[in-house]
Amino acid sequence: AGDPVPLDDLRGRPVTAAVLAEATARIMAAVTALVAGLRGEEPPAQPFDPRPSAAGAGR
């Protein structure tokens, strides 16, 4: 288990898409760092986004 992910500054704020996206980004960054440490590799510069890009849409 890793260190706690700091989310205290988000507590008490209205639950909006932006707040949820920020919390998710922080948690995923922490998970990515833990996995990179386990693998002994550098994590990718950008997180994987499974959504199709605009250029690839409609194929």
Taking the domains of the chain in order of start, what are their residue ranges?
A: 8-39
1-12 pLDDT tens trace: 799 999 999 999
**pLDDT per residue as tens digits for the range 10-59:** 999 999 999 999 999 999 999 999 999 999 999 988 888 888 875 555 54
Question: For position 17, what pLDDT does the model report?
Answer: 98
C-beta pairs of 28-32 under 8 Å, 24+ apart in sequence? 30/2, 30/3, 30/5
Backbone angles phi, psi at 49, to 5 degrees: -120, 110
Placement of tokens 């288990």 in the chain: 1
pLDDT at 47: 84
Prediction pTM value:
0.77
